Copies of this chain bind each other. A is one copy, B any other.
Amino acid sequence: MYLKPPSGFRDFEPKDMILRKRVISALENIFLRYGYDPIETPVLEHWEVFEGKYGKEAETKLMYKFKDPWSDKWFALRFDLTVPMARFFSLKHPSLPFKRYHIGRVWRHERPQKGRYREFWQADADIVGSPYPEADAELLELSIDAMLKLGFKNFVIKLNDRRILRGIFEEKLALKNDIEIYRVIDKLDKIGYDGVRVELNKLGLNKRAVDKILEIISREYNVTDNINELIDEFSGNTNVEKGVSHILDIVNVLGFKRKYVTFSLNLVRGLDYYTGPVWEIVIKDIGIGSVAGGGRYDDLIEKYAGTSYPATGTSFGVERLIDAGKLTGIFKTDKITFTEIYVLSMSTKTFKISWEIARELRAKGFFVRVDLMRRSERKQREYASKKEIPILLIIGEKELSTNSVTIYVRKTGERLTIARDELIEFLRKLNKDLYYDK
């Protein structure tokens, strides 16, 4: 009967949505604080927009490509928000720097598994126009603020620069085409060092080269201290020097926030379009992949715009953040409704009164439900209780005759009767106590 969504796609119930909205609005608020403005693009693009941007595996195995039912054109659902932004930028040519955020879904035909879906949400911030480390630093500082605002403490930003690896490969292995190797290294978390060795062998590299690559990516450097060792070892290699100096400049701008950043030679990112610094945010000790990642892609926009524009960006995986937050206990789906007040209707006689009170409360901004099922008082109470609506208003014969309202507060079990004209003020105070996030 196809009641379930297609594999890897999901429905979200109110309790999921309430948490998701909290997470998304925290991210959005941080983007705004850093001066990013929102854009939106279609969920689908002409296939040609995506072609040649992400790498062969993505294009052939992961993208939802389909034929427009009314023409010979091919469309695909967007694979990320970066490429649509590059197209958007090249069409509109906004003034520089162009700083935009975009929170929306993307589609990848991955094998569905814990924390990995085929339809998922990304929250991206990007800067077009600046080639400078300040731009990358801003994105890292923004990322740190976002993680802290969401409540994460035990996280680290792994930072690398693709030019460093490229330089090392040039010096040590005389390798020119490094993209294929990056794609293998990117799987390190999933397949481990042994798996990387197998895959590198498959690329046709000799044993010496494979050994060297494994040695290099297992190195750990402390970004604040001994990254200069790299310069010493590879002095004279322009790529290594550029990469290291870019990273040192980023870290310098970060100031005291550098404590969240680690330099990781094995961090490469899987997509083709990165050209310089790349980073990922990892939550320690929970064995979940990265929750965010990004980097510089100075050559991507040229493919659309004809001329070159430096660009850098970062992307949060909304599902990853939520799964990580649940695992670490900072996120809970314990709120199942936004509704604050249920106004009981005791009889057909008081239905009109309940409706009027609901109307008055709604006009003041409260979130209110009334009976729509012509149910008994008991059934209404059961429903309000099942839905965990925090406040119940009762207007029976007694309240009617004394022009008062009885209030029941679920959390405390408190029950009290107050004058009708004090209701709004009373509920405002009550609400302030009950809600932290309104």
On A, residues with C-beta under 8 Å from B are: 1-6, 9-14, 16-18, 20-21, 29, 32-35, 37-46, 48-49, 64-70, 73, 75, 77, 87-88, 90-92, 94-97, 99-100, 105, 109, 119, 127, 129-130, 132, 134-135, 138, 141, 145, 253, 304, 336-339, 355, 359, 362-363, 365-374, 383, 386-387
Provide the residues of chain B in CB contact with A12, threshold 8 Å: 38-41
Are B6's CB and A75's CB within 8 A? Answer: yes
- In the assembled complex, the CB of A263 is this many whole angstroms from the nearest CB of chain B, namely 22
Contacts A18-B38, A43-B105, A66-B66 known; 4 new A-B pairs at CB < 8 A: A3-B90, A35-B370, A99-B369, A129-B373
Q: Taking CB as reference atom, which chain B residue is nearest A129?
A: B373
Provide the residues of chain B in CB contact with A90, threshold 8 Å: 3
Sampled A-B contacts (6; CB under 8 Å): A6-B46, A13-B94, A97-B372, A97-B373, A130-B372, A253-B355
Provide the residues of chain B in CB contact with A11, threshold 8 Å: 39-42, 88, 91-92
Given A6-B75, A14-B100, A362-B145, the answer on whether A37 and B339 have CB atoms closer than 8 Å is: yes
- In the assembled complex, the CB of A312 is this many whole angstroms from the nearest CB of chain B, namely 10
Q: Taking CB as reference atom, which chain B residue is nearest A312?
A: B372
* A135 to B375 Cα, complex, angstroms: 13
Provide the residues of chain B in CB contact with A339, threshold 8 Å: 32, 35, 37
Are B35's CB and A369's CB within 8 A? Answer: yes
Given A2-B49, A91-B11, the answer on whether A373 and B33 have CB atoms closer than 8 Å is: no
Are B14's CB and A38's CB within 8 A? Answer: yes
* A97 to B369 Cα, complex, angstroms: 10
Are B38's CB and A359's CB within 8 A? Answer: no
Provide the residues of chain B in CB contact with A13, threshold 8 Å: 39, 92, 94
The 9 A-B residue pairs with the shortest CB-CB distance in the complex, in nearest-first order = A35-B369, A14-B37, A66-B66, A9-B42, A17-B38, A12-B40, A2-B46, A33-B362, A3-B91
Are B95's CB and A5's CB within 8 A? Answer: no
- In the assembled complex, the CB of A318 is this many whole angstroms from the nearest CB of chain B, namely 11
Provide the residues of chain B in CB contact with A29, threshold 8 Å: 365
* A65 to B95 Cα, complex, angstroms: 39
* A96 to B369 Cα, complex, angstroms: 13
Provide the residues of chain B in CB contact with A355, threshold 8 Å: 253
Among B5, B33, B100, point to the contact of A368 (Cβ < 8 A): B33
Among B17, B32, B64, point to the contact of A40 (Cβ < 8 A): B17
Provide the residues of chain B in CB contact with A387, threshold 8 Å: 95
Instruction: Give the one of A5, A100, A339, A369 with max B CB within 10 A.
Output: A5
Q: Taking CB as reference atom, which chain B residue is nearest A41?
A: B11
- In the assembled complex, the CB of A18 is this many whole angstroms from the nearest CB of chain B, namely 7
Provide the residues of chain B in CB contact with A17, threshold 8 Å: 37-40
Instruction: Give the one of A13, A32, A37, A355 with max B CB within 10 A.
Output: A37
Q: Taking CB as reference atom, which chain B residue is nearest A102?
A: B17
* A11 to B371 Cα, complex, angstroms: 42
Q: Taking CB as reference atom, which chain B residue is nearest A30?
A: B362
Are B9's CB and A44's CB within 8 A? Answer: yes
Are A41's CB and B338's CB within 8 A? Answer: no
* A361 to B369 Cα, complex, angstroms: 40
Are B6's CB and A68's CB within 8 A? Answer: yes
Q: Taking CB as reference atom, which chain B residue is nearest A34?
A: B362
Provide the residues of chain B in CB contact with A253, threshold 8 Å: 355
Instruction: Give the one of A43, A45, A336 with max B CB within 10 A.
Output: A43
* A119 to B38 Cα, complex, angstroms: 18
